[in-house]
Amino acid sequence: MIDKLITKIKKTHAPIVVGLDPMLSYVPEHILQKSFGEFGETLEGAADAIWQFNKEIIDAVWDLIPAVKPQIAMYEQFGVPGLAAFEKTVSYCQKKDLVVIGDVKRGDIGSTSTAYAAGHIGRVKVGSREFTPFHEDFITVNPYLGTDGIKPFVEICKEEHKGLFILVKTSNPSSGEFQDRLIDGRPLYEWVGEQVARWGAECMGTSYSAIGAVVGATYPEMGKVLRKLMPKSFILVPGYGAQGGTGKDLVHYFNEDGLGAIVNSSRGIIAAYKQEQYASFGPEHFAEASRAAVEAMKADIEGALEGEK
Amino acid sequence: MIDKLITKIKKTHAPIVVGLDPMLSYVPEHILQKSFGEFGETLEGAADAIWQFNKEIIDAVWDLIPAVKPQIAMYEQFGVPGLAAFEKTVSYCQKKDLVVIGDVKRGDIGSTSTAYAAGHIGRVKVGSREFTPFHEDFITVNPYLGTDGIKPFVEICKEEHKGLFILVKTSNPSSGEFQDRLIDGRPLYEWVGEQVARWGAECMGTSYSAIGAVVGATYPEMGKVLRKLMPKSFILVPGYGAQGGTGKDLVHYFNEDGLGAIVNSSRGIIAAYKQEQYASFGPEHFAEASRAAVEAMKADIEGALEGEK
């Protein structure tokens, strides 16, 4: 799957992932009215609204990008119908040949991690049959529980040719509270990064490992160090756009081959029509505003990477 | 909700939580056949089987215990139907007046944590209506992202009178890989424990905070230190029984008032009929075996606590 992701990045010239993190407040009124008209103001209605919203955005941007990253919390908040909309979104994106990174940040131990891995990137056995419930291509995973918590995911990645992005240095303001604390003179995130490289060595694709890392765009100096510590790990970079990161901040997340990172933008793309610069599209044409925002992001990152050459 | 938990612990004389972590391999053949007969060998069939299995165990043990802890991964692995069985289990336990601790180990930042909190312990707005999708009483949360990741959960706990158990020192063998690393001379788990005490100060019940901690039974010396660091935090203790912890290991997790900890056993209770000492019950009477196992666990822990007096 990491090889597919790389092929698609090269083809689209876009090391970009669109975060499908729909809040109901992003969904234009005409979609809400239609969904609530059909299902009422219910969890089913909310789930239908975010699914219709996603579908229109995917239809507008799929040819420009290699991958999407649905944030499961935004679906899970609507309970069982919300999770059905999550699965529907994953399926629809895969039909458009997009790589799907499930931003699930799961993490537990032993048989529990195995269960999460089975449900999200593997298979679950029921009697004599097998199912792939949420079937993402990659998922994000939390490392706080150590190797016991990660290994079950890595095993299933090997079997199913799927991948992980493990949280190393997150983009939020307080991420340093624990992640930056010094252990034998080096911050915790470096120790985690070294383990990512080690776990990843077992799971190599052609040039990169299927086991990547999450490193926030908001900490470019740390990104530079981590890039060198995990030379074969792809870095998923949140925090671009709405959280404050710019193309220039991102150059050090890439290797000299121009690969090694994929930059996420969520709100900046999917709610573009709410920003002043795309307001002229209007709520009716929100998906076209998203397409324009993807094109602008692509240009910003391409420009920054070109400037480095 | 922490006050309710304490009242129920006092009433049942059982600082015990039964982990509802059903694997299909625990479910007796006669239940599997019935569920597969009705729904086929499908995700729906698997979800029905674990729900029927849970229901029978709850009916057999509810009067002995204050709380249950369903592990969501075991449901999530069966996709959307599995998550419906999770919600059904939560509802059924609450009808029996049990406190429900959703073992979800979620954790993200800002609006994403808010979405998880809304879906699990809060309310989600859809148009003019509000819903409580998974409506657990407590949930477990991962602290790796720092205060930004925890605060949205704490806020909703305050509004809704719910509670958290934050991972501090987990029960698994490799938990020390990051959690035990020394920072300014003290292990990471102590720094996390101190933050739990700080976050908890905002959310006090009558005698304990609604913000508790997870500390594994497999590390009793660390439990002793953490007990003192977080005097007002309840400790949820996994790792008893199947993972190797015994009653004697647990005495230091309690305060002098005899409160402050709640000990989880999952497999040891729900799959008791598969153990030699309860084999005579047979698969038909698996729930009675679970009741006997709860009684034995209660006696073990009571005995250990009495021995301390």
pLDDT digits (tens, 9 = 90+) for A63-105: 999 999 999 999 999 999 999 999 999 999 999 999 999 999 9
Q: Are A6 and A104 in contact (CB under 8 A)?
A: no
Token couple for B204: 């006090």
* pLDDT category of residue B309 using cuts at 50, 70 and 90: low
Contact list, A129 vs chain B (CB under 8 Å): 41-42
DSSP characters over chain B: -HHHHHHHHHHHT--EEEEE---GGGS-HHHHHHHHHHH-SSHHHHHHHHHHHHHHHHHHHGGG-SEEEEBTHHHHTTHHHHHHHHHHHHHHHHHTT-EEEEEEEE---HHHHHHHHHHHHS-EEETTEEE-SS--SEEEE--TT-HHHHHHHHHHHHHHT-EEEEEEE-SSGGGHHHHT-EETTEEHHHHHHHHHHHHHHTTB-SSSEEEEEEE-TT-HHHHHHHHHHSTTEEEEE--BGGGSB-HHHHGGGS-TTS-SEEEEESHHHHTGGGSGGGGGGTGGGHHHHHHHHHHHHHHHHHHHHHHH-
Residue window 109-138, chain B: list those with CB within 8 Å of chain A.
Answer: 109-113, 115-116, 118-120, 124-129, 131, 133-134
Q: How many CB atoms lie within 10 A of CB A201?
A: 12
Q: Are A116 and B76 in contact (CB under 8 A)?
A: yes
pLDDT digits (tens, 9 = 90+) for B4-23: 999 999 999 999 999 999 99
Question: Distance, in angstroms, between B112 CA and closest chain A CA?
Answer: 6
* Distance, CA of B179 to CA of B191 (rounded, Å): 10
pTM of the model: 0.97
Q: Are A138 and A105 in contact (CB under 8 A)?
A: no
> How many residues are listed for chain B in this entry?
309
A24 CB within 8 Å of a chain B CB = yes
Token couple for A163: 């991948």
B237 phi/psi in degrees, rounded to 5:
-115, 100
Q: Are B171 and B218 in contact (CB under 8 A)?
A: yes
What sign does the dihedral B106-B112-B118-B124 (CA atoms) show? negative
What pLDDT does A119 receive? Answer: 98
* Chain pair A-B, CB pairs under 8 angstroms: 226
A146 CB within 8 Å of a chain B CB = yes
* Distance, CA of A300 to CA of A269 (rounded, Å): 14
Closest residue in B to A88 (Cα) is B80
Average pLDDT, chain B: 95
Closest residue in B to A238 (Cα) is B109
Contact list, A172 vs chain B (CB under 8 Å): 109-110, 145-146, 148-149
Q: Are A105 and A145 in contact (CB under 8 A)?
A: no
Mean pLDDT, residues B173-194 taken together: 95
* Distance, CA of A56 to CA of A50 (rounded, Å): 10
A94 CB within 8 Å of a chain B CB = no
Residue B242 reports pLDDT greater than 70: no
Q: Are B202 and B164 in contact (CB under 8 A)?
A: no
What pLDDT does A89 receive? Answer: 98
Annotate A77-103 with b (16+ C-beta within 10 A) or e (fewer).
bbbbbbbbbbbbbbebbeeeebbbbbb
What pLDDT does A239 receive? Answer: 86
CB contact under 8 A, A76 and B42: no
Contact list, A195 vs chain B (CB under 8 Å): 177
Which one of the listed residues B8, B96, B105, B248 is annotated catalytic?
A: B105
Which one of the listed residues A105, A151, A248, A274 is annotated catalytic?
A: A105
* pLDDT category of residue B247 using cuts at 50, 70 and 90: confident
CB contact under 8 A, A174 and B82: no
Contact list, B120 vs chain A (CB under 8 Å): 76
Residue of A43, A133, A175 with shortest CB distance to B43: A133
* Distance, CA of B264 to CA of B154 (rounded, Å): 23
Contact list, B179 vs chain A (CB under 8 Å): 144, 146
CB contact under 8 A, B24 and A177: no
Regions of chain A with pLDDT less than 70: 242-243, 309
Mean pLDDT, residues B139-144 taken together: 97
CB contact under 8 A, B80 and A83: yes
B179 CB within 8 Å of a chain A CB = yes
Torsion of CA B249, B251, B252, B254, to 10 degrees: 140
CB contact under 8 A, B183 and A179: no
B244 CB within 8 Å of a chain A CB = no
3-state helix/strand/coil string of B277-303: HHHHHCHHHHHHHHHHHHHHHHHHHHH
Is B105 among the residues known to form the active site? Answer: yes
B304 CB within 8 Å of a chain A CB = no
* Distance, CA of B179 to CA of B182 (rounded, Å): 9
Inter-axis angle of helices A29-39 and A43-61, to 10 degrees?
140
Residue of A41, A146, A183 with shortest CB distance to B183: A183
* Distance, CA of B78 to CA of A124 (rounded, Å): 7
What pLDDT does A309 receive? Answer: 61
pLDDT digits (tens, 9 = 90+) for B23-32: 999 999 999 9
What pLDDT does A1 receive? Answer: 94
Cα A141 to Cα A154, A218, B200: the distances in Å are: 11, 20, 26
Q: Identify the helix (H) or strand (E) that includes residue A255.
A: none
Residue window 245-264, chain B: list those with CB within 8 Å of chain A.
Answer: none
DSSP characters over B172-187: SGGGHHHHT-EETTEE
Q: How many CB atoms lie within 10 A of CB B244?
A: 12
